Structure 1
Amino acid sequence: MPRAKPETLPKRADFLRAAARGRKSARPGFVVQLLATAPDAPVRLGLTASRKVGNAAHRNRARRRLRAAARLELAAREIAGVDIVMIARKDSGSVDFVRLRAELGDILDRHAEMRAAPRDGAP
């Protein structure tokens, strides 16, 4: 399975926009904020880990694990037009990687279903 490399969220304003207007979903190892953008826009991924996660080595490990899970799960799905912000939690480094991927996959599937569903009042 090829690894898709999503674009990155380059600016703080992008992170803040996802936090303010995006859908949020929390899991034991991470929090995800998803903000739908234009349907033909690329997927953009932003990762963050505060000092609550641990020292620099723990934060870097948490970000690496989240990035790897995101790449694998995005490669397995046809997703476009979304900004994804993943916030590491203290347990990010110790949660089983298979579970981490499965939880992220569930979130992405739910987002795709909600985006595909017709909205109330739509013709």
Structure 2
Amino acid sequence: MRYESIVRNTEFSRAYRRGKSYVSPFLVTYVLRRKRGGVRLGITTSKKIGGAVQRVRARRVIREAYYAMGLNEEQSVDLVFVARTATTRVKMQKVEKAMRAHLTAAGLLSR
């Protein structure tokens, strides 16, 4: 399951402004529905998370949790995941559980 990346700052800003947010201790998810097809994914880790090693680990954990869920690719949506400080200290399964709860609440996954 491949996804298109969100890379421009304006696209991240649009998701933050117009998207619906879901918060957990490990992850913040912004969901913004679009008109064009395909899932676009953006992952944000700030320097508050820690050094470069912790930030890369947080991104890797979030990416693997996304892959493990198997989201339907026919939907038109931008997903922005923001790592929190606890993301670097937990296993991928906890992040996946939080992500699954967020996307179910957004109506992207069935229960």
* 5+ long unaligned stretches in structure 1: 114-123
Matched, 1:44 2:16: no
- Which of 75, 78, 81 is matched with 2:72 structurally? 78
Q: CA deviation at 1:94?
A: 1.1
Secondary structure (helix, strand or coil) at the match of 2:107 reads helix
Secondary structure (helix, strand or coil) at the match of 1:107 reads helix
- In structure 2, C-alpha distance between the alignment counterparts of 1:71 and 1:43, rounded to whole Å: 12
Matched, 1:105 2:103: no
- In structure 1, C-alpha distance between the alignment counterparts of 2:34 and 2:87, rounded to whole Å: 27
Structure with higher Rg: it is 1
Structure with more of its chain in strand, by fraction: 2
Q: CA deviation at 1:99?
A: 1.6
RMSD: 1.3
The share of aligned pairs that are identical, in percent, is 30
Matched, 1:15 2:12: yes
- Which of 50, 56, 79 is matched with 1:54 structurally? 50
1:120 alignment partner in structure 2:
none
- In structure 2, C-alpha distance between the alignment counterparts of 1:24 and 1:110, rounded to whole Å: 10
- In structure 1, C-alpha distance between the alignment counterparts of 2:29 and 2:64, rounded to whole Å: 15
Secondary structure (helix, strand or coil) at the match of 1:52 reads coil
- In structure 2, C-alpha distance between the alignment counterparts of 1:107 and 1:24, rounded to whole Å: 9
Q: CA deviation at 1:63?
A: 0.5
- In structure 1, C-alpha distance between the alignment counterparts of 2:55 and 2:27, rounded to whole Å: 12
Determine if contact 2:26/2:98 at 8 Å carries over to the other structure.
no
Count of matched residue pairs = 107
- In structure 2, C-alpha distance between the alignment counterparts of 1:17 and 1:62, rounded to whole Å: 23
- In structure 1, C-alpha distance between the alignment counterparts of 2:65 and 2:99, rounded to whole Å: 8
**Over 4 Å off, 4+ runs:** none
